[in-house]
Copies of this chain bind each other. A is one copy, B any other.
């Protein structure tokens, strides 16, 4: 292997990917070759052939030089020897790692487009494996291969009965397509899902994602009319920006529900020992997945609760929930769950209330939740649900029933299914009980209606529908492009290179000016005379600050002087430099910043900043200065570039936002100016990937504009 090639993945544009991204051959093949097919007991090669033989509608072709046939199918010594080998749609590779790379190369040479590498012993096992994985990626690029894995459990697709995995039995058919970075997760979930009656369209075990990753499958399933919901278990996202782009497009009409594990510190460590990859920050995942339009969940239960309702029920037009029950207590719990969610309790129209009053017994509660009381039969439930769904103030409904002598759950299930279909409003069902609910659940399932024992889950699932409605309606405006002085910004950044240092401080205020973020008048003086001259150019008294990359906490060493009159500037200059020298004799002192006085008290101190995440790139931060960021951790983050809407969400989203809006008799801060500064910062850090970290602290927001008072940044001079 050519060692100059390096890691293909690290290069921009990810050249290991094929161009058109058409994966239809992978999921709907006619001919599947199994490279390493065998009858050997307990082997993966055998499991795959058996799984394929069980249901697959197409042709299974064993490839193994040691056998003439496998389970009665003619076996070939290599892929190239198979007749019309270029018409093999998928090759599944299970041979040992040392020969797997060569096997994939042969697939490429034979014209096979889709390869699933089951073989483990690649990137997950250390440097030798990692180098083998790079080689695999290069071969894939060379031959334009759609390569799944390595270290994959395989792929499934129910329409063709394809089960090219060495794991579970084939899934039930359905409209959920599911990807997982953990093969065991697939095995565990499918076994359970089959018993729960949950079906799938495609299932893919991503393995090490040497070539195809989550973004490719999101794109594929977004274009697939048979996939209603994309589901995933991920431990990381390969390329955050690309993923966001793809997901935003797909979630226009296909919801994406994901577990991204490794959320906690302990979890991130576990991910790193499980997959061998360095985890990006949870903050970046949280922001990035939200911006991508992903419904992120934390538990297996929520993953499938959301998947089921999203695949089975329509999107509600409104968030007002009607509750129909025969059980007061569980009705109250349902109401609490509505209070906890983004939904609200529907207020029935007068007409509905009158009709309910006529139809229900006197002791019933006709206000929402409708308590049809313990002796309600199916007919009374039907009347109540019919009236509720017919009310234009109702967007969706929960039907909740305790078992009673007069309720037949099967009949109730049929009524719920019929009325849901009639009104086209989403309904979740809570038939509470044990085995007696089984056949009713079956009836509900056929109508696409999920049933839960716990009312809180029903409400959270309806809430997911509502959240997805908002996601599907999102308009992703392009980030604003301000007229900036990019060349001047580059010059400022290059100063770091010239100084052989990767840190810049207040001497880089010009960087902000170049991108239109307002800064006080000022300059860095290298000599006291220059300081005096600079102060004379500024109206009134000045602020003077020592400028040194080696002194981070200027105030702590007396390195800042506020309110210096012109006649004091010379002495102040010398005093500041002396203090700095005393504090740290070998400090690199660049001079003294002489700056216009800004009335900090007349505004609110805010912080805008950025750090760069390995997966998602530039992550912007906003918060109020001082205790708000440092103690209360009251910040909002977004992956850059941000649109105006996103920048505004950051400013309005912090808990302490009322302070900016003028709470407690303050003058409101100019939030538009903060929003614009965030967008300009977003443009700056997007234009210059060399900026690794940057903090404007404080950005003082007055009633009439903002001013950046200080800045600190780290630059990767090699990327300039």
Q: Which residues of A are interface residues toward B (Cβ below 8 A)?
A: 42, 47, 125, 167-168, 180-185, 187-189, 191-196, 233, 235, 259, 261-267, 269-271, 273-275, 298-301, 326-333, 335-340, 344-345, 363, 365, 367, 369, 371, 374, 402-405, 432-436, 453-457, 626-627, 630-632, 655-656, 658-659, 663-664
Contact = CB atoms under 8 A, between A and B. Distances in A.
Contacts of A332: 182, 235, 261-262, 267, 270-271, 274
B192 A432 contact: yes
B363 A125 contact: yes
B181 A329 contact: yes
Contacts of A434: 191-196
A455 B627 contact: no
Given A187-B404, A270-B369, 8 more contacts: A167-B404, A187-B402, A188-B433, A261-B336, A262-B336, A273-B367, A627-B659, A631-B663
A196 B434 CA distance: 8
A664 B270 contact: no
For A259, A301, A331, A658, which residue has the most chain B Cβ atoms within 10 angstroms? A331
Contacts of A435: 195
A371 to B, nearest CB: 7
Given A180-B329, A631-B664, A336 B453 contact: no
B233 A329 contact: yes
Contacts of A262: 332, 336
A95 to B, nearest CB: 18
B274 A331 contact: yes
Contacts of A192: 432-434, 453
A188 B300 contact: no
A344 B194 CA distance: 34
Q: Which 5 residue pairs are nearest across A and B when measured between Cβ atoms? A: A182-B329, A264-B339, A195-B434, A184-B327, A188-B432
18 contacts: A42-B405, A47-B405, A184-B326, A184-B327, A184-B329, A185-B330, A188-B402, A261-B336, A264-B335, A266-B338, A273-B365, A274-B329, A274-B371, A275-B328, A300-B456, A626-B664, A627-B656, A631-B664
Nearest to A371: B274
Nearest to A375: B42
A658 B265 CA distance: 23
A193 B432 CA distance: 11
A195 B180 CA distance: 32
Contacts of A658: 627, 631
A266 B328 CA distance: 14
